[in-house]
Amino acid sequence: MNPAPQFPQEQSSEGAFVRQPDAFRRWVKADGSPEYPPEKGRYHLYVSYACPWAHRTIIVRTLKRLEHVIGMTVVDPIRDERGWAFTGQFSDPVNGFKFLSDAYRATDPSYQGRVTVPVLWDTKTKKIVSNSDDDLMRMLNSEFDAFTDSDVDLYPRPLRPRINTLNKAIYEQVNDGVYKAGFATSQKVYARAASALFSALDQLEKRLAKRRYLFGGWITETDWRLFVTLVRFDAVYHGHFKCNVRKISEYPNLFGYLRDLYQQPGIRATVNFDHIKRHYYVTHDDINPTRIVPIGPEQDLMAPCPERKAL
């Protein structure tokens, strides 16, 4: 008999974690869309520094210099059976919500799924526009360009087919792969997920031996999609999710690549290891019933990485 899963509604009969689809996928568009046009101050991001999916949107908002265009509120990193909460210093200045589930119910009173971050909230319609990090990365990358002087383009048109292909592989084997291993409730399912994860990491290590970033000399959204998993790996996934064949710090190319991205302007401020570690080790009490947060590991992400500069 398999043990109780962390999210029972997202578990297969053989003990595999099967992530629920995103519930809200409307779009802000700069092409004259009457429903959700890009406007300064209209939209607000609800995020968690702990969540890798939300972290992606924080990064794009930072790189596109949209802080003055789209507000952002961070939820409490400790989530209980009531979901993501706005408590104490993590209060909601926009709607006064106590829980992020309030935003979901305001948008769809019949919503029954798990409440997730990120969420893009529309202050005019008082509804969620999107809770899809994939869509939000693309919206933030291009639909608010009229309000920013940033020339960053994380989804360049010539690379889009290749970006889409690599995104899919990294998502299935690495981004979601750590969760498939960590939330597995049978040995067979865990071993399969962990093996696929490290096979993918080994291939990425080889790829980065010949290029500075995943597509050469420039950073794309794919790099940031991978970054949010790599930066959490040694601190959380290696121990908490039993992804312990190797640490990222034991991969010369991946670790240099991780440090390179971490040291890009503005990125360090988007990484909050206190939130990350407390969320995983305290919230996932089926995996860590003692809720003890480990003090390690030591890792110096600000160490020089000249080996990356030469590629």
> Using one digit for the tens of pLDDT, what is the confidence trace for 35-70?
999 999 999 999 999 999 999 999 999 999 999 999
**Residues with catalytic roles:** 51, 179
- What confidence tier does 134 reach under pLDDT thresholds 50, 70, 90? very high
Residue 1 is predicted with a pLDDT of 46
Query: CA 167, CA 139: separation in Å to the nearest integer?
Result: 17
Residue 14 is predicted with a pLDDT of 67
How far from chain centre, in Å, is Cα 282?
A: 19
Query: CA 75, CA 243: separation in Å to the nearest integer?
Result: 27
Residue 32 is predicted with a pLDDT of 80
pLDDT surpassing 70 at residue 31: yes
Q: Which of 256, 176, 169, 262 is nearest to 208 (CA)?
A: 256
Q: Which of 167, 178, 56 is nearest to 117 (CA)?
A: 56
- Structural domains for the chain: 16-147 (3.40.30.10), 157-309 (1.20.1050.10)
pLDDT surpassing 50 at residue 193: yes
For the residues 288-302, what does the mean pLDDT come to? 96
Residue 305 is predicted with a pLDDT of 82
Give the whole-number percent of the chain exceeding pLDDT 90: 87
pLDDT digits (tens, 9 = 90+) for 145-167: 999 999 999 999 999 999 999 99
pLDDT surpassing 70 at residue 283: yes
Tell if the pTM clears 0.85, that is, is over it: yes
Query: CA 28, CA 32: separation in Å to the nearest integer?
Result: 10
Mean pLDDT (the chain) is: 93
Residue 163 is predicted with a pLDDT of 98
Sheet holding 127-130, edge to edge: 71-74, 43-47, 119-122, 127-130
pLDDT digits (tens, 9 = 90+) for 237-280: 999 999 999 999 999 999 999 999 999 999 999 999 999 999 99
Residue 22 is predicted with a pLDDT of 78
